[in-house]
């Protein structure tokens, strides 16, 4: 259905959600002068707390939102979207602009609202937000991916500018790839560090000493990768074509859980592709490949 809405009327912004991202976005938008009129949540008490944190006057239940906002930002758990979108549609949300923040769901998740004449899209911060307070600190300056109908992407751009972020247009068909990239850069990075901790604990170090010891290495590796690019930042046995070291690691890891051994092998094979781009000779790559496959 074609969008038939509010391009000439004032924005009244409502946020659906009472969690970390909803709270951080609400607080930032309010502080930067955008008027967020209302916070809506399934739990009214939590909606009131979020509104207080964000400096927003009104808190309502989700079905009460539609008459109060013509620009709606939905920041609920990914698996709640199939309930929240139809619930807003059933409550009469029409001719509005609606964005959601769940990259895994992509732009299609708001189909029930689009069918009711709303312009819909997705706006996803490429950032990790463990608490609302951390989100308030880190969202400004972050990239925000967006896709959707033209009025929705126009509002998404306005929001990103207002939040001090960097807009990132992503093709609606490519959200799965975009989100997998975010998982690599954030979640799996955490997993790699946790794997290193597991091995250091096996050497006899306490977890806290090991974490502190890893910090300068991790920070330098990330800084080098971001400033020099992966090809120039890569060091270590695979970049040197050192097959005997990889074979020694295979023996050292023999008694570790299979998930740790598989991760070492998979990360090693992917590192091999990077090392080849950085100039590793093909013969050395074949030998390393065999050693890693043997894991």
Ligand X SMILES: NC(=O)c1ccc[n+]([C@@H]2O[C@H](COP(=O)([O-])OP(=O)(O)OC[C@H]3O[C@@H](n4cnc5c(N)ncnc54)[C@H](OP(=O)(O)O)[C@@H]3O)[C@@H](O)[C@H]2O)c1
* CB closer to ligand X out of 125 and 151: 125
Query: Smallest Cα–Cα separation from 264: which of 236, 286, 284?
Result: 236
- Torsion-angle region of residue 148: left (phi > 0), alpha (psi -120 to 50) or beta? left
Q: Could you give the string, one character per residue 60-89, with x where binding to ligand X holds by CB under 6 A and - elsewhere?
A: ---------------xxxx-x--xx-----
Nearer to ligand X among residue 7 and residue 77 (C-beta): 77
Tokens representing residue 19 in the block: 């969690």
Q: Which residues pair with 14 in a beta bridge?
A: 38, 72
Note whether 101 binds ligand X by CB under 6 A. Answer: yes
Using CA atoms, how far apart are residues 270 and 285, in angstroms rounded to an integer?
A: 12
Q: Of 22, 30, 11, whose CA–CA distance to 162 is shortest?
A: 30
Question: Which segments within the chain are labelled E, that is strand?
Answer: 13-16, 36-41, 58-61, 71-74, 97-100, 119-125, 143-148, 166-169
Rounded to a whole number of angstroms, the minimum distance from the CB of residue 150 to ligand X is 23
Measured at CB, which residue is nearest to ligand X? 19
Q: Is 19 in the site for ligand X (CB under 6 A)?
A: yes
Distance CA(134)–CA(131), nearest Å, equals 5
The residue assigned the tokens 């090693």 is 268
User: CA 62, CA 71: separation in Å to the nearest integer?
Assistant: 14
The reply on whether position 18 binds ligand X by CB under 6 A is yes
112 binds ligand X (CB under 6 A): no
Q: Name which of residues 24 to 43 contact ligand X (CB under 6 A).
A: 41-43
Compare residues 61 and 289 and give the one whose CB is closer to ligand X.
61
Please identify, using beta-carbon distances, which residue of 55 and 230 lies nearer to ligand X.
55
Shortest distance, CB of residue 5 to ligand X, whole angstroms? 23
Give 81 or 263: the residue with its C-beta nearer to ligand X: 81
Closest CA to 37 of 47, 46, 45: 47
Question: What minimum distance in Å lies between the beta carbon of 127 and ligand X?
Answer: 6
145 within 8 A of 124, measured Cβ to Cβ? yes
- Choose which of 13, 26, 116, 124 interacts with ligand X (CB under 6 A): 124
Inter-residue contact 220 to 213 (CB < 8 Å) = no
Token pair, residue 170, equals 């992503």
- Of 105 and 272, CB closest to ligand X: 105
Q: Which is nearer to ligand X, 126 or 280 (CB)?
A: 126
Question: If DSSP codes are grouped into helix, strand and coil, which group holds residue 206?
Answer: coil
* Residue 142 contacts ligand X per CB under 6 A: no
Which residue, 119 or 132, is less far from ligand X as judged by CB? 132
- Residue 44 Cβ, how far from ligand X at the closest point, in Å? 10
Binding mask 230-259 for ligand X (x = CB under 6 A): ------------------------------
- In three-state secondary structure terms, 148 is strand
- Cβ at position 157, least distance to ligand X in Å: 18
- Point out which residues bind ligand X (CB under 6 A): 17-22, 41-43, 46, 75-78, 80, 83-84, 101-102, 124-125, 127-129
């Amino acid at each position: 259905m074609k969008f038939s809405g509010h391009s000439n009327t004032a924005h009244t912004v409502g946020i659906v959600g009472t969690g970390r991202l909803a709270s951080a976005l609400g607080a930032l938008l309010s502080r930067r002068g955008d008027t967020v009129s209302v916070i809506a949540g399934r739990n009214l008490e939590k909606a009131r707390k979020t509104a207080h944190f964000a400096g927003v006057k009104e808190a309502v239940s989700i079905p009460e939102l539609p008459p109060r906002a013509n620009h709606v930002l939905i920041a609920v758990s990914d698996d709640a979207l199939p309930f929240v979108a139809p619930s807003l549609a059933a409550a009469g949300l029409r001719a509005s602009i609606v964005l959601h923040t769940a990259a895994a769901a992509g732009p299609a998740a708001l189909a029930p609202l689009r069918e009711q004449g709303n312009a819909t899209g997705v706006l996803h911060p490429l950032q990790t937000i463990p608490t609302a307070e951390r989100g308030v600190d880190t969202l400004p300056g972050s990239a925000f991916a967006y896709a959707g109908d033209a009025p929705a992407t126009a509002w998404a751009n306005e929001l990103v500018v207002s939040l001090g972020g960097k807009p990132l247009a992503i093709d609606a068909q490519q959200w799965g790839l975009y989100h997998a990239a975010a998982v690599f850069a954030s979640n799996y990075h955490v997993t790699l560090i946790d794997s290193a901790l597991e091995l250091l604990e096996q050497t006899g170090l306490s977890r806290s000493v090991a974490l502190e010891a890893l910090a300068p290495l991790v920070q330098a590796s990330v800084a080098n990768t971001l400033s020099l690019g992966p090809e120039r930042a890569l060091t270590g046995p695979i970049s040197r074509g050192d097959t005997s070291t990889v074979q020694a690691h295979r023996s050292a890891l023999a008694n570790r859980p299979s998930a740790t051994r598989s991760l070492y092998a998979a990360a090693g094979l992917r590192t091999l592709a990077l090392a080849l781009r950085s100039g590793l000779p093909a013969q050395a790559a074949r030998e390393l490949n065999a050693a890693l496959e043997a894991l």
